[in-house]
Amino acid sequence: MTTLATKRDFLTLDDLTPEEILETLALARRMKAGELRDTPLVGKTLIMIFRKHSTRTRVSFEIAMNQLGGDAVFLADRDSQMGRGESLEDTARVLSGYGDGLMVRTWGHGELQIFAEHAEIPVINGLTDLVHPCQILTDLLTMTEIFGELQGRTVAWVGDGNNVANSWLRAARMMDFRLRVACPEGYAPDEAVSAWASETGHAEFIADPAEAVEGVDVVVTDTWVSMGQEVEHAIREAAFTPYRVTSELMARASDDAVFMHCLPAHRGHEVDAEVIDGPRSVVIQEAHNRLHAQKALLVRLLA
């Protein structure tokens, strides 16, 4: 039985230690290989609150619960009382009596923290405006499949300094790889996590994308217009055009470099079709890994 004192949340990547992340990735690889087919979550229910759209996060969490023997319940603003103004505090307290875990995708990170503070069951971050830790857990899994060790690798983040970029910065220092960040002026990642990752030399900020990708193992980008930023579409397009991942840009990375993107992608905007649909792209492997990484995470938090 989870109690407030023992419950374990996953709000940001550092809610797990680096050792726990490596263990989680190892478990995910074994599950993906079909070595473990146990159902440790029989009788457990994950309640999934989506205040923003989703394809991958919703479906992978729901199927992850099913494969582990449990259930998932989906709740969106539009058809719940949250959409009519019921407080997050009351919602968290009430749902704690029905389920065994709460996955939340929401806007401000503070909203997620309210859920975590008032829920008596573990809370998992399914994306906030600040971070997307489940995505990065998956991206680390994908990197281990491709390169083996994470340590010593170099990744270039090209584009918007958004929630996904912030989680990559956290991962770089925790897992001991280098992250070169190329963002236009005014679109830098979160200052606090940037300073934290730079302090140990794990993050480097290079304005020129061509310089940033020179010799790297991974080139990664994301949409220029995250959920909630739609009104800024035109101004963002203009600012980010020099940061598009093209074949010419990929050619500057190392010979065996891969292209990553959390998806959904916008061909001809943040990435050219010939890159994302080309031989160096691992975006579908990456998307499929959401299932395996989250199964391992759910076992750690809910079993």
Q: Are strands 203-205 and 178-182 parallel, antiparallel or unpaired?
A: parallel
What is the total count of residues that contact ligand CP (CB under 6 A)?
A: 8
Q: Which does 223 bind (CB under 5 to 8 A by kind): ligand CP, ligand NVA, none?
A: ligand NVA
Site for ligand CP in 94-133 (CB under 6 A): 127
Distance CA 294, CA 36 (A): 14
Catalytic residue among 135, 160, 178, 180: 135
Q: Does position 244 bind ligand CP by CB under 6 A?
A: no
Catalytic residue among 262, 272, 292, 294: 262
Tokens, residue 214 = 């020179």
Q: Of the two residues 222 and 272, which places its CB atom closer to ligand NVA in the complex?
A: 222
Distance CA 153, CA 258 (A): 12
29 is catalytic: no
Q: Does position 54 bind ligand CP by CB under 6 A?
A: yes
153 is catalytic: no
Site for ligand CP in 8-47 (CB under 6 A): none
What distances in angstroms separate CA 37 from CA 41, 60, 67, 72, 265, one per listed residue? Answer: 12, 17, 8, 19, 33
Q: Does position 263 bind ligand CP by CB under 6 A?
A: yes
Which residue type is seen at 102?
L
Options 8-16, 54-62, 77-85, 175-183: segment touching ligand CP (CB under 6 A): 54-62
Q: Does position 56 bind ligand CP by CB under 6 A?
A: yes
Tokens, residue 141 = 């899994």
Name 46's Cβ contacts closer than 8 Å, sequence gap at least 6. Answer: 61, 65, 70, 71, 72, 73, 99, 100, 101, 102, 103, 298, 302
Q: Are strands 101-105 and 71-76 parallel, antiparallel or unpaired?
A: unpaired
Q: Interface residues with ligand NVA (CB under 6 A)?
A: 127, 162-164, 222-223, 226-227, 262
Active site members: 105, 132, 135, 222, 262, 290
Which residues are near ligand CP by CB under 6 A? 54-57, 127, 135, 262-263
